[in-house]
Amino acid sequence: MTLLLLLLLNYLITFVFMNGPSRVTVPYSTFLEQLNADNVKDITAQGNNIQGDFKKSVTYGSASGTLFQSERPIFAQDNLEATLQQHNVPINAVPPGSGQSPVLSLLLSFGPALLLIGGFLYLSRRMQSAGPGGILGAFGQSRAKLYTPDSGPRTTFADVAGIDEAKQDLAQVVDFLKTPDKYQRLGAQIPHGILLVGPPGTGKTLLARAVAGESNRPFLSLSASEFVEAIVGVGAARVRDLFAKAKEAAPSIIFIDELDAIGRSRASSATFGANDEREQTLNQILTEMDGFTPNQNVVVLAATNRPEVLDPALLRPGRFDRRVTVSPPDRVGREAILKIHTRNLRLAPDVDLDDVAGATAGFVGADLRNIANEAALIAAQKGEDQVTKVDFDEAIERSVLGLRRPIVLGPDEKRLIAYHESGHALMGLLVPGADPVKKLTIVPRGLSLGSTYSQPIDDRYNYPESYLRGRITLALGGRAAEEVAYGAVTTGAESDLQQVNQIARSMVARFGMSPKLGPLNLTQPGDGNVAQHFSEETSRLLDEEVRRIVDECHRESVRMLTDNRDRLDRLAEAVLKKDTLDQDEIYAATGISKPPLPRPVIAPPLPANGSSRDRDLTKDEVGSEIRR
């Protein structure tokens, strides 16, 4: 409202007070014609600008009236003064720059500054009425959303599946919030802060909401990025306001999502003497958490997928002193998650959620929810009454491969793509221990012109060197097929080569699978990136070993496809006829017998002392490098 009033005042000053009455603008020739016709009553001249009154109304263009204005050309050679005197027209002269009243001139000079000062004072009073601290008091109020037991439908542990270990770790927190006296009478204190750590989509936020729902206590939720503003001191003020509200509603829960937005290590974000706003906010959080007492009964939950970048002061006892790992679910967990997300779906009898869980190895809760929703959308688009197994299969393919693209390929390019994808599929059948190939298609989907879809038969957490080499060999199968069939290579293997480089470099730099470099990890602790903290000689050896592994796998891929050239040709011709082949059709086209399930896992033999030479790895450590 204040802004509208200021704009209206500016309009009045500019267009009403300054411009004066409306006048008809006429050419100088028209003015002379009216002067010679004795129709000019009087004029006022200011420089070359002429204003005056006509005795009778004059129309020019769409405007008409007696008040007029005109501009005398500089090159005009007429004796205008004599002509005006001849027709008895009074002449008034105004000095340039004059004509305004002193009051109006003063208003135009100081008006903008007065308006700015008045607006600032008005906003300051409004903010003071919102709370103490003036401007900072208004901006410093926390934007956390408060959820109470009466806010609506609650989320409980029954709505969370696939992360049973995390639920068990948080059960004690829920029990404390429900019955704090049971712990306080023994002198026990609940952990001040609990950090939920896990990859994106695993259900960290959902788990925090379930804790609030189970405990039936007030729940204040916000993102860490909402603390920071351009005004210095606002972040710390919002932290103080947030904890003050939580203490008033105690026992209560504070949930801070994406904690790494403000909790980054202060050592890695030095500001060279500047008082960083983010650092002030972090310091205030550290102070508030360390000042808790058992009587306040405020529990802080926070979530992040990058715990390695957090400041060590946040993780010490007394602040976030308990860490709960929220890992991607296993097959049983995925089935439980699918049961929750399909509760409101009308499933056909042929839908087996255990099979769907087996086909989605590596998927997290958010992925599974998207799969269930996509299957329902596909069924509705087809006009079906129930969601079928085919709908789930197509939803999984959309999630992994992307949507189909309406691209018309020429016969030569289509045959080239058929050989490229057939090379991938055939290598998936020939490489020992490779994930079973489920589908081969030359229909453009997503960013690719063709796809070979492989599906793991189980969840794997330890990857031997032979498996990683097999993945490199399989990824190079498309390029090798082009070499064997055409004697040349194309640009179609770009994404394959990126995957090959990632796996080979990780084998050398992360997993110590190089005889020359030995059991060394050359990555930066925490983020897994290769850090240049080693010598140039080590860097040269790293590149040489990566090249050696890729070259060996490439030669092996070319050799295997050359030895099985007839199978490669048959598979390429089969996919050219049908565009898409399922698993049985792939085995039939190549003449290879389908192995019995479950397929044996190829692992390196154990030494005589019984200890494995391969390092135990978690799925998170290698998932991004070895999955397609």
> Which structure tokens are listed for 220?
């204040």
Question: What is the largest distance, in Å, between two alpha-carbon atoms of the chain?
Answer: 128
Cα gap 437→19, rounded to integer Å: 81
399 residue type, one letter: S
Which ranges of 348-456 does DSSP label H, i.e. alpha helix?
353-358, 365-382, 389-401, 411-430
C-alpha distances (whole Å) from 539 to each of 236, 380, 506, 512 are 44, 55, 14, 14
Q: What 3-state DSSP class applies to 37?
A: coil
Cα gap 252→254, rounded to integer Å: 7
Per the annotation, the verdict on 585 as an active-site residue is: no
Number of H helices, E strands in the chain: 23, 14
Reduced 3-state DSSP string for 529-572: CECCCCCHHHHHHHHHHHHHHHHHHHHHHHHHHHHCHHHHHHHH
Cα gap 478→588, rounded to integer Å: 20
For 580: left if phi > 0, alpha if psi spans -120 to 50, otherwise beta; the answer is beta
Other Cβ atoms less than 10 A from the Cβ of 280: the count is 20
Identify whether the C-beta of residue 379 lies closer than 8 Å to the C-beta of residue 387. yes
Q: What 3-state DSSP class applies to 49?
A: strand
Catalytic residue among 374, 421, 482, 625: 421
Which strands, in side-by-side order, build the sheet including 252-257? 145-147, 219-223, 252-257, 298-304, 193-197, 320-325
Cα gap 286→263, rounded to integer Å: 10
% helix, strand, coil for the chain, step of 5: 50, 15, 35
DSSP state of 599: P
DSSP string computed for 81-144: HHHHHHTT--EEE--TT--S-HHHHHHHHHHHHHHHHHHHHHHHHHHHHHSTTTHHHHHTS--P
Tell me the catalytic residues. 421
